[in-house]
Structure 1
Amino acid sequence: MSTNQVQTPLRVVLTDINTQVVESWRAAFAEHPEIEIRRGSIVDEHVDAWVTPTNSRGSMDGGVDAVIKRHLGAGIQLRVQRAIRDRFDGRLPVGSAVCVSAGAINPKFLISTPTMEASVQNVSETLNVALACAAAFQAIHRQNSESPGSIKSVALVGMGARTGGVPARVCANLMWTGYTLFNDYTFDDYDDLRATIIAQLDDIENAPADKPVRITRSARPATKR
């Protein structure tokens, strides 16, 4: 892991139909005016990439996954599952992501990142939301490393707040942790990312409900920006 280098600013949109999630984002991201927060559907957002919380198999059969599959067509699930098969032997671990062509003008890319292993699973007592959010931003970094400037804007929903049973404020705080981690560090791979978050498990779990935790150290030495 290394400190992040100066990058072209990424336009980030947080959008959800759940009012509680939206209000929780406003509280958690109060010191980040660069983040656009609004109530609505992700399919109405005109950005380069949409992020969909998925399961480890990439089965887009519920929640936001299903909404996006209906919007983009069944072929999007085939592309996601092909990427999972080719890059992760058919099972996408929590804390990793795939970025595939959406087959559309808007968005150009779909980033799938699992918040759970099964299609429906309560993950309210886990760090899966932070892992998934950080992995989504890592996928953007990797895509832009391969094709500079290909993703300049992204939209995300409230991860785990629906089928995952994660309370709105917890969801917002963990997504804040994932976002700030992306701003602070560049990771060599997803294993490095997961180790960095898990190493601070106690700090995140013991933090007050109204206080998001910024990751400040990892499982191995790293230089802070």
Structure 2
Amino acid sequence: MIKFKLVAFDFDLYYSWKSCFDNIEGVEVVDGDILQEKGDAIVSPANSFGYMDGGLDLKYSTHFGWDLEQKVRNKLESDYFGEIPVGQAIVVPTGLPEVKYLVSAPTMRVPSDISETVNAYLAFKGIIQSVLAYNRENNGVIGTVLCPGLGTGEGKMSASVCAKQMLRAYKVCLNNEMLRQGGLASAVNDHIKLLR
């Protein structure tokens, strides 16, 4: 089973995650610097084009080396016509032993305010799906995933909304709580709840 270590950069995000993910198996919430944590993979809450020269991605590029951005860009160009939509993610090797994989998961197409969207839900769903698929093809090499807030920086999404959206994605993907009844009305109601 995959373990997600949610690493908060501020107390608002930390307490929002703690509130939502309390007693959820396979999730640990910590406060601190994500680059000081140990894991097999680290999430880049990216833009759709894979550019890593701003925000948290800039810290990643400085830490892991600028060739990591080129690896992401090469994968996007070869497999996704140069950009990946919000809700999908890719896994690329970092080439470093301390964190072997980067999961590039756009929370926005380009830097913008996503506070009135379900993009954190879509991004976390994409993260989970891509890691599960990568593990199926590579003998389960990713055990622990380090994940920062999704859309809580440049995207201006509140910590509480981000946490609720991520919890919903986790439950859909790993607790089999996908919508099965109620038709479109149920889907619309679920969408509205994700925005609050």
Same fold (TM > 0.5): yes
2:193 counterpart of 1:202: no
Q: What SS does the corresponding residue of 2:166 show, helix, strand or coil?
A: helix
2:159 counterpart of 1:144: no
- Unaligned regions of 5+ residues in structure 1, if any? 1-8, 186-198, 210-225
2:158 counterpart of 1:167: yes
Distance of 2:125 and 2:88 partners within structure 1 = 8
Equivalent of 1:83, from 75, 86, 99?
Answer: 75
Matches within 5 A, 1:1-225: 9-118=1-110, 120-185=111-176, 200-206=187-193, 209=196
The 1:106/1:201 distance shift into structure 2, 3 A limit, reads: farther
Alpha carbon RMSD of aligned pairs, Å?
Answer: 1.6
The 1:105/1:146 distance shift into structure 2, 3 A limit, reads: same
Residue aligning to 1:217:
none
Distance of 1:114 and 1:67 partners within structure 2 = 16
Deviation per residue, 1:190-209 (Å, 9 max, x gap): xxxxxxxxx83432313694
Q: What SS does the corresponding residue of 2:145 show, helix, strand or coil?
A: strand
For 1:27, give the aligned amino acid: S
Q: Mean Cα displacement is larger for which, 104-113 or 30-39?
A: 30-39
Distance of 1:86 and 1:184 partners within structure 2 = 33
The Cα of 1:67 is off from its aligned counterpart by: 1.0
Deviation per residue, 1:161-207 (Å, 9 max, x gap): 0100000100100111121222035xxxxxxxxxxxxx834323136
* 8 A Cα contact 2:118 2:195, kept in partner: no
TM-score, with length taken from structure 2: 0.90
TM-score, with length taken from structure 1: 0.79
Report the structure, 1 or 2, having the larger helix content. Answer: 2
State the identity %.
Answer: 31
Q: What SS does the corresponding residue of 1:181 show, helix, strand or coil?
A: helix
Q: What SS does the corresponding residue of 1:204 show, helix, strand or coil?
A: helix
